[in-house]
């Protein structure tokens, strides 16, 4: 008889009788339960895959590559790789390339990409460990869609990815803007128009600490812009202050307006567990206004209870940086020494020399030369230096003051050519500079920060809106530059 399983209990009664008779009590029945073997759930269907034609080549440090590489410039290897088929025309799949002797790379493939896709590979290198090195990622600043990403649950997944690529520091960056300003009346009111609720920053700190990542708060001043219908814009602001001397009483009002903003943000940073506080970035018009005014800003941060490291990040342009606005080297050094750490913001690191006309294509050797010059210009102060990279993924990004507003559509940048590899070049170049430092921790560069990191894996999409220009922007998420940074972050 065919059995599907025991559905009843079999009772066995053992009757015991002694020799010569006598009564024996019958023991209680022994019940033998049976079980039904669990049925495994059906295996998920394997994802559909697409075969994609690619061309790989070794990215030489001495070659100035065009946006599209030809066989006359590099030895192109034709290959076919399988990637998961994008779910729709607007979605992406991760195209990964791993070759012996080279750093791994990846590329955000979409069905819209023309093939073959070209991927430049960098040689694997001997890595010099960098103790106590800040491996920082700065998600895009708090304006715009920050609350959409927060409410959509994208913060935890972004922090997970930062951890997975080797990052150890996440930065919340934001700016106060001008509410009212009167040059003649020497009056200024600054406001945190785009500051999110405090709980958002506290949650960021908690997300970082729960993953073993440090948390940094970075604050600046942005005059305002037409997109936000603000009363002040960057050109209007610089026009207004252009004729002021460093000693004009207006600057007392300006610094005094900034102090309560810093104090409030510093107290919040301390509550959020931040270990670093950047009290200004790209405020280079302020560095010549007297160290005593800056000392008061630092004191405002300390008085608010912040116990971590305090820094200032200077902009760079045309081979100079904001610290060099102070021409006297002794005064410049004194200013730099006000801070525990300082940063150089690298957006467009190549600058013209000897009257040359720069072409968009530049070799890594030139990037390395120019970045080293910027580091050398302030290294004598012996204050730890961070390098913050915000170069967009466009072909002219290394030489021009390109700012790609990620909230706009890429179609609004028809005069730009997307170039993931050019963006990757600056990360590789800066990493090579750092890797020249001794592994004993004596090097002057103590960290790399990447600006504008997207909250989504898809570089062509906001959470619900397609065709946003993170694809061209400074964000490295899912681009070859992220693979470069991950290689070095994990190695150091």
Supply the DSSP symbol for 394.
B
For the chain, what percent of residues have pLDDT higher than 70? 89
Task: Give per-residue pLDDT as tens, 191-209.
Answer: 998 899 999 999 999 999 9
Residue position matching structure tokens 């820094």: 311
Residue 21: the pLDDT is 40
**Distance in angstroms (rounded) separating the CA atoms of residues 486 and 428:** 11
DSSP string, 339-359: SSEEEEEESS-----TTPPPP
**174, 208 contact by CB (below 8 A):** no
pLDDT above 70: residue 401: yes
* Mean pLDDT value across the chain: 89
pLDDT above 80: residue 241: yes
| pLDDT band for position 406 (cuts 50, 70, 90) | confident
Residue position matching structure tokens 């906001």: 462
| pLDDT band for position 15 (cuts 50, 70, 90) | very low
pLDDT above 90: residue 17: no
Please state, in angstroms and as integers, the Cα–Cα distance from residue 11 to each residue in 7, 15, 17, 34, following that order.
13, 13, 19, 12
Q: What is the CA radius of gyration of the chain?
A: 30
Please state, in angstroms and as integers, the Cα–Cα distance from residue 246 to each residue in 196, 285, 290, 458, following that order.
33, 9, 8, 46
Residue 35: the pLDDT is 54
> For strand 30-32 and strand 10-12, is the pairing parallel, antiparallel, or unpaired?
antiparallel
DSSP string, 303-324: HTT--SEEEEEEEEETTEEGGG
Residue 402: the pLDDT is 72
pLDDT above 90: residue 444: yes
**Domain range list for the chain:** 49-121, 134-491
**Distance in angstroms (rounded) separating the CA atoms of residues 291 and 288:** 8
User: What residues are paired with 346 via a beta bridge?
Assistant: 389
| pLDDT band for position 467 (cuts 50, 70, 90) | low
**Distance in angstroms (rounded) separating the CA atoms of residues 193 and 231:** 12
pLDDT above 70: residue 341: yes
Highest mean pLDDT among 89-103, 138-152, 272-286, 305-319: 272-286
Higher per-residue pLDDT: 224 or 137: 137
pLDDT above 70: residue 16: no
- 3-state class (DSSP) for residue 437: coil
| pLDDT band for position 240 (cuts 50, 70, 90) | very high
In the numeric block, which tokens belong to residue 260? Answer: 């309560």
Nearest alpha-carbon partner for 279 in 265, 293, 291: 265
Please state, in angstroms and as integers, the Cα–Cα distance from residue 3 to each residue in 31, 104, 465, following that order.
19, 56, 58
Task: Give per-residue pLDDT as tens, 267-278.
Answer: 999 999 999 999
Q: What average pLDDT does range 59-67 have in this prediction?
A: 96
**Distance in angstroms (rounded) separating the CA atoms of residues 367 and 391:** 12
In the numeric block, which tokens belong to residue 236? Answer: 């209007």
Higher per-residue pLDDT: 185 or 20: 185
DSSP string, 54-122: EEEEE--TT----SS--TTTS-PEEEEEEEEPPSSTT--EEEEE--TTB--EEEEE-TT--SSEEEEE-
Q: What average pLDDT does range 132-161 have in this prediction?
A: 91
Q: At what angle do helices 250-271 and 198-210 cross, to 10 degrees?
A: 50
Does the pTM exceed 0.85?
yes
| pLDDT band for position 466 (cuts 50, 70, 90) | low
- Among the residue ranges 148-152, 278-282, 405-409, 463-467, the one predicted with the least confidence is 463-467
Residue 141: the pLDDT is 66
CA 146, 152, 157, 161 dihedral sign is negative
In the numeric block, which tokens belong to residue 133? Answer: 């090195």
**Distance in angstroms (rounded) separating the CA atoms of residues 152 and 490:** 29
Higher per-residue pLDDT: 275 or 91: 275
Those residues with Cβ within 8 angstroms of residue 436's Cβ, 6 or more apart along the chain or in another chain = 128
Higher per-residue pLDDT: 82 or 33: 82
pLDDT above 70: residue 6: no
Q: What average pLDDT does range 75-98 have in this prediction?
A: 90
User: Residue 137 — φ and ψ, nearest 5°?
Assistant: -125, 130
Which H helix or E strand runs over 52? strand 49-58
Residue 225: the pLDDT is 82
Task: Give per-residue pLDDT as tens, 356-387.
Answer: 899 999 999 999 999 999 999 999 999 999 99
Distance of CA 169 to the CA centre of its chain: 9
Q: What average pLDDT does range 166-175 have in this prediction?
A: 97
Nearest alpha-carbon partner for 138 in 492, 400, 476, 383: 476
Residue 10: the pLDDT is 32
| pLDDT band for position 259 (cuts 50, 70, 90) | very high
**Distance in angstroms (rounded) separating the CA atoms of residues 339 and 384:** 9
User: What residues are paired with 219 via a beta bridge?
Assistant: 174
Q: What average pLDDT does range 286-314 have in this prediction?
A: 98
- Any idea which architecture 134-491 has in CATH? Alpha-Beta Barrel (3.20)
Using a 10 angstrom Cβ sphere, with 0-12 exposed, 13-18 middle and 19 or more buried, the burial of residue 39 is exposed
């Amino acid at each position: 008889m065919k059995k599907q399983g025991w559905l009843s209990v079999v009772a066995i009664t053992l009757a015991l009788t002694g020799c010569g008779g006598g009564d024996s009590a019958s023991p209680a029945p022994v019940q033998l339960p049976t079980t039904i073997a669990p049925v495994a759930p059906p295996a998920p269907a394997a994802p559909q895959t697409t075969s994609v034609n690619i061309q790989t080549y070794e990215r030489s440090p001495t070659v100035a590559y065009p946006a599209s590489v030809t066989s006359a410039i590099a030895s192109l290897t034709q290959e076919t790789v399988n990637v998961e088929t994008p779910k729709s025309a607007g979605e992406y799949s991760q195209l990964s390339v791993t070759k012996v002797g080279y750093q791994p790379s990846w590329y955000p493939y979409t069905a819209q990409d023309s093939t073959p896709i070209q991927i430049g590979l960098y040689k694997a290198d001997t890595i010099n460990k960098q103790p106590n090195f800040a491996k920082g990622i700065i998600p895009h600043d708090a304006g715009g869609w920050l609350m959409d990403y927060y409410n959509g649950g994208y913060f935890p997944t972004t922090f997970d990815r930062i951890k997975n690529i080797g990052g150890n520091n996440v930065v919340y960056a934001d700016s106060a803007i001008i509410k009212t300003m009167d040059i003649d009346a020497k009056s200024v009111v600054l406001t945190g128009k785009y500051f999110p609720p405090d709980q958002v920053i506290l949650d960021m700190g908690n997300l970082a600490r729960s993953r073993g990542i440090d948390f940094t708060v970075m604050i600046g001043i942005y005059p305002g812009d037409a997109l936000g219908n603000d009363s002040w814009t960057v050109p209007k602001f610089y026009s207004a202050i252009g004729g002021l001397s460093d000693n004009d009483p207006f600057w007392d009002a300006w610094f005094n307006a900034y102090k309560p903003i810093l104090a409030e943000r510093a107290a919040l940073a301390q509550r959020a567990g931040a270990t670093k506080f950047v009290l200004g970035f790209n405020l280079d018009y302020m560095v010549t206004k007297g160290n005593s005014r800056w000392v008061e800003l630092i004191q405002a941060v300390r008085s608010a209870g912040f116990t971590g490291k305090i820094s200032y990040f200077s902009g760079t342009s045309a081979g100079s940086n904001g610290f060099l606005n102070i021409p006297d080297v002794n005064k410049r050094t004194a200013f730099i020494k006000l801070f525990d750490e300082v940063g150089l913001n690298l957006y467009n690191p190549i600058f013209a020399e000897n009257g040359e006309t720069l072409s968009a294509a530049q070799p890594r050797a030139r990037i390395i030369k120019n970045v080293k010059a910027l580091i050398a210009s302030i290294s004598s102060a012996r204050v730890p230096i961070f390098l913050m990279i915000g170069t967009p993924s466009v072909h002219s990004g290394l030489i021009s003051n390109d700012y790609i507003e990620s909230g706009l559509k890429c179609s609004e940048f028809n005069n730009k050519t997307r170039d993931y590899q050019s963006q990757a070049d600056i990360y590789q170049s800066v990493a090579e500079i750092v890797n020249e430092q001794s592994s004993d921790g004596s090097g002057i560069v103590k960290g790399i920060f990447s600006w504008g990191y997207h909250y989504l894996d898809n570089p062509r999409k906001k959470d619900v809106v397609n065709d946003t220009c993170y694809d061209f922007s400074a964000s490295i998420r899912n681009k070859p530059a992220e693979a470069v940074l991950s290689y070095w972050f994990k190695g150091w």
